[in-house]
Amino acid sequence: MSRFAKQLIIALVYVLIIGGIGFLFFRSSYGPTCYDGIQNGKEEGVDCGTIACGSACASPIQALQVQSVQLVRTLAGDHDLAFQLYNPNTDYGVSAGTYELAVENQRSIHDFYMLPGQTKYIVLTSILGLTGNPSVEVSIKSVQWEKVSIDPNVRFTISNEHYNAGESQTIFEAMVTNDSDYDFESVDIQVSAADLSGRLLATNVTNVRTFLSKTSRYVKLTWPFVLPADARVSVQAATNVFDNDNFLKRNGTQERFQQYY
């Protein structure tokens, strides 16, 4: 081999080495690595994206929203509370959460659960030890998220509602139907009454035990005072679908309607 040919081969080797080092430097500096903790290259999010990393980016979990908080002094002398809790996440539910109720110098912690995308009505009844019309604050303290696919057929229907404001008490009656294919150990019924302007008048709660699929149950709630005859009553039935023990066994197996990921 001639001297010129040897020099040419050596020069080509140097070019390949330098070019390889330069390519690796460029790739590490500017290309998507999918493990560097930052969004770069063609990544659609931090270290994710179908083109860059071969995996879709998960939607960020949005915070729960506390809405329409109302505290009212009832004709019985105690206080009732009602508010709405909105979950903007369509894939994540709350299997276990807590909120803090702050009224005057009183603070208390309460539990809740809710489905993905749900606006949940939460009520408390007979809050004692308050005077006048104090200010109230509701804040979320803890949330345990669960990604879950919800069966759209799980629902409860309220029908045959009857509201009667008598001489010394007020009675609300209704039929609640379990339209789902599942039997539940416990279903919560929450009721709120408001005047025509939407101002809260009173709340009430009850519970239906052993609620079988495709059946209806009669519920009756009583206030020991008279509410306006034209009060508007809102009812919501809910059950904790994240609790395994809440699903009654059928044919010896535990029922579930959601799939965890």
| CB-based contact 92:116 (threshold 8 Å) | yes
> DSSP letter string over 39-75?
--TT-SBTTBBHHHHSBPPPPPPPPPEEEEEEEEE-T
Any domain includes 94: yes
pLDDT of residue 20: 66
Any domain includes 58: no
Helices (H), the chain: 3-30, 50-53
Residue 181 CA, distance from chain mean position: 22
pLDDT of residue 153: 63
- Of residues 118 and 253, which shows the higher confidence score? 118
44 shares its domain with 71: no
Domain range for 246: 65-260
Q: What is the mean pLDDT of residues 234-243?
A: 92
- Of residues 53 and 77, which shows the higher confidence score? 77
253 shares its domain with 226: yes
pLDDT of residue 195: 95
- Of residues 131 and 221, which shows the higher confidence score? 221
pLDDT of residue 105: 82
Last residue of a domain, one of 12, 32, 53: 53
pLDDT of residue 34: 77
Number of domains in the chain: 2
Any domain includes 129: yes
Q: What is the mean pLDDT of residues 71-81?
A: 93
Any domain includes 83: yes
48 shares its domain with 72: no
End-to-end CA distance of the chain: 66
What is the number of other CB atoms lying within 10 angstroms of the CB of residue 134? Answer: 14
Residues 6-23: pLDDT tens digits?
666 677 767 677 766 665
Query: pLDDT grade, residue 62 (50/70/90)?
Result: very high
Any domain includes 218: yes
How many C-alpha atoms does 192 have within 13 Å on its Cβ side?
A: 24
Q: What is the mean pLDDT of residues 51-57?
A: 77
- Of residues 129 and 185, which shows the higher confidence score? 185
pLDDT at residue 181 greater than cutoff 60: yes
pLDDT at residue 254 greater than cutoff 50: no
pLDDT at residue 187 greater than cutoff 80: yes
Query: pLDDT grade, residue 49 (50/70/90)?
Result: confident
Query: pLDDT grade, residue 74 (50/70/90)?
Result: very high
- Of residues 54 and 231, which shows the higher confidence score? 231
What is the number of other CB atoms lying within 10 angstroms of the CB of residue 78? Answer: 15
Instruction: Return the residue matching tokens 């009520």.
Output: 123
Beta strand 170-178 with 156-165 is: antiparallel
Query: pLDDT grade, residue 259 (50/70/90)?
Result: very low
Residues 126-159: pLDDT tens digits?
999 888 778 899 999 999 999 876 565 678 999 9
48 shares its domain with 76: no
pLDDT of residue 4: 61
pLDDT of residue 47: 73
pLDDT of residue 51: 77
User: Whose CA is closest to 81, among 108, 105, 48?
Assistant: 108
Q: What is the mean pLDDT of residues 111-135?
A: 90
